[in-house]
Amino acid sequence: MKQVISTERIPIKLWLDEVEEGALAQARNLANLPFAFKHVALMPDAHVGYGMPIGGVLATKAVVVPNAVGVDIGCGMCAVKTSLQTLRPETIKKIMSGIRELVPLGFDHQKTRQDETLMPSTENLVEHGVVERQFIAALKQIGTLGGGNHFIEIQKGSDGHIWIMIHSGSRNIGYRVAAHYNKLAKKLNAMWHTSVDDKHDLAFLPIETQEAKNYMNEMQYCVDFAFANRKLMMDNIVSVFVQETGKDFKELDFVNIAHNYARWENHFDTNVIVHRKGATSARDGEIGIIPGSQGTKSYIVKGKGNPMGFMSCSHGAGRKMGRKQAIRELDLAAETANLDNQGIIHAIRNKRDLEEAPGAYKDIDMVMENQTDLVETVVELSPLAVIKG
- pLDDT of 74: 98
Coil, helix or strand at residue 323: helix
- For 182: left if phi > 0, alpha if psi spans -120 to 50, otherwise beta; the answer is alpha
Say which DSSP state 364 is in.
H
Coil, helix or strand at residue 70: coil
Residues 52, 275: contact at Cβ < 8 Å?
yes
Q: At what angle do helices 210-245 and 130-138 cross, to 10 degrees?
A: 20
- Report in angstroms the alpha-carbon separations of 42 from 15, 17, 52, 56, 242: 6, 11, 10, 5, 41
Coil, helix or strand at residue 354: helix
* Active-site residue, selected from the candidate residues 39, 161, 259, 315: 315
Backbone angles phi, psi at 206, to 5 degrees: -60, 135
Examine the residue annotation and report whether 315 is marked as an active-site residue of this protein. yes
Look up the pTM and report it. 0.96
- Report in angstroms the alpha-carbon separations of 135 from 30, 113, 132, 138: 33, 11, 5, 5
Among residues 314, 370, 322, 273, which one has the least CA distance to residue 76?
314
Coil, helix or strand at residue 64: strand
Q: Give the H or E element holding residue 266.
A: strand 260-267
**Domain at 3-320+361-388, CATH class:** alpha beta
Q: Report, in this order, helix, strand and coil percent for the chain, each rounded to 5.
A: 35, 25, 40
Among residues 71, 129, 77, which one has the least CA distance to residue 254?
77
Buried b (16+ CB within 10 A) or exposed e, 278-287: bbbbbeeebb
Which residues of 21-133 form beta strands (DSSP E)? 40-47, 54-60, 63-64, 76-81
Q: What DSSP string runs through 234-251?
A: HHHHHHHHHHHH-----S
Residues 386, 296: contact at Cβ < 8 Å?
no
- pLDDT of 34: 97
- pLDDT of 250: 66
- pLDDT of 376: 98
pLDDT tens for the chain, 389 residues long, are 999 999 999 999 999 999 999 999 999 999 999 999 999 999 999 999 999 999 999 999 999 999 999 999 999 999 999 999 999 999 999 999 999 999 999 999 999 999 999 999 999 899 999 999 999 999 999 999 999 899 999 999 999 999 999 999 999 999 999 999 999 999 999 999 999 999 999 999 999 999 999 999 999 999 999 999 999 999 999 999 999 998 877 667 789 999 999 999 999 999 999 999 999 999 999 999 999 988 899 999 999 999 999 999 999 999 999 999 999 999 999 999 999 999 999 989 889 999 999 999 999 999 999 999 999 999 999 999 999 98
Coil, helix or strand at residue 224: helix
Based on the number of CB atoms within 10 Å of its own CB, is 345 exposed (0-12), middle (13-18) or buried (19 or more)? middle
385 vs 92: CA distance, rounded Å: 7
